[in-house]
Chains A and B, each alone.
Chain A
Amino acid sequence: MARVMVMMSGGVDSSVAAALLRDQGHDVTGVTLKLWGGESDSGCCSVADVEDARRVAAQLGLPHYVFNFSDAFEADVVDPYVDAYAAGETPNPCVECNRSMKFGRVLERARQLDYDFIATGHHARVIETDEGPALARAVDLAKDQSYVLYMLGSEELARTLFPVGELTKADVRERARALGLRTAEKRESMDVCFITRGGREAFLGARIPRRAGTIIDDQGAVLGAHDGIDAFTIGQRRGLGVAVGERRYVTDIAAGTGTVMVGTRDALLQESLRLRDVRGSRTPPRPMLVQFRAHGTPVAATLDGDDVVFASPQPRVSPGQVVAFYDGDVCCGGGIVAE
């Protein structure tokens, strides 16, 4: 039996995670993070979600606390998210929240309070290997979230449990129904939790001056105009508002001038890309598989310093996005695409 602090978002996965841990005989405490100011209607921090988490914990007979990390969340997740868009990047705030909040501040608080482990409802697994604990893909590959957890090092992994990583999503819902949990049929949150009404452009528009600019082709010819670069990400095909013969993709964004460059799919291809903030629990093999979208198809590549060299050219990836390294099903680590 271990003392486990389980983060309960009010969703079905973390509800079942808490139930599984309890049924394994652990001494379990539920915590819900209040990450974002107001009473947002969606995402992980609304009052209704806190109430769902509290009620599930009560039903399971677990003590439950709310941790208010809203100051830190704003400083460490939201502000960098806004700054990244202002710089023409496409950030992944869930990754930063995992790193700095869930596996940063919560893990630290759990340590102070003498918990042996923290747990979440992520679909991923921690497996034992000769080189210590490793992050592995979930049993349900369609729901696998190892990509957004790539940054976990050995120390974090040794103190982390992902109870639902062994179950399919269908199994999770079935367990929730069998236990009569109020969250059994709850919809999954898909969007960035702190962006609610109005969507991303309205959220960013209230925080950064929108920089209008032109859309040009690879010859420098002006094809059109736009209201702000935050509406674009590299590789984007839809919503460019330019009419040309063949399919065009965003190939580059110049934050300084507000210029968005578009080109053919071939123009999007690159042999390698450079990363920053490379982290993880182990050195990836040569060659490795890399994944650069939450549910993208992995491709072969090698890591050369901070450069990922692809076995065959790949479409460009927006700066700010995550590239995760895999050795089969084991996530070795990853980094963030540099400019």
Chain B
Amino acid sequence: MANDVAVKASGLTKTYGEGETEVHALIDVSFEIPRGEFVVLQGTSGSGKTTLLNQLGALEAPTSGEVESNGYHLNGLDDDGRTGYRLHSVGFVFQFYNLVPSLTAYENVALIAELTGDDVKDRTEAMLDAVGLADRMNHFPGQMSGGEQQRVSIARGLVKNPPLMLCDEPTGALDTETGIQVLDLLREITDGGDRTIVVVTHNSQISQIANRVIDLKDGAVTDMHINETPLNPQDVAW
């Protein structure tokens, strides 16, 4: 894999169940994502986009095919290897934030910071500051809005400084205005850097802010195109 390629999928297939209940969630999916791009994986419900995201994040193993990500050959990794890959090379952002409710915003971020290096306090505070939550860091998730929780989730993903961020419907549970703020934030963290962001969404508007758009349908890639003039989230007609 060339140095400027962040993620490469080759002949990726994922099948669930067997016999009559067999479902082909991914069928022979292949693509390359260059480093530093904001990529949108889009498709309707059941198109296989979350399954593909899970393959890229080493949350699930493919039935066949290969994934290479930032120097990791995911197929050859055991459970510890995949966990290590996720800890050091991938930041996740989920639709429903998935924060630990018993930890404050600071602690949710610090939980990962503690496992990935020193200067925990500085790194955590800097990250929360970067997502605009410097004054909310001692609040628990239950005391925060959905947008704030999603920003904590982004800070948690970023605190390890991963080369790849995987976001599964990051605005799916948010109102439009808050969604725009979150997309702004995600866009900011790639601009001019090496970090690659893959966003899964069924909202086709989001593709307007991406560098690259991959369309999925029934488990297969139907189109992959480069967006030469990505828009700012505020400029998109939502």
Q: Do A and B bind each other?
A: no
A residues with CB within 8 A of B:
none
B residues with CB within 8 A of A:
none
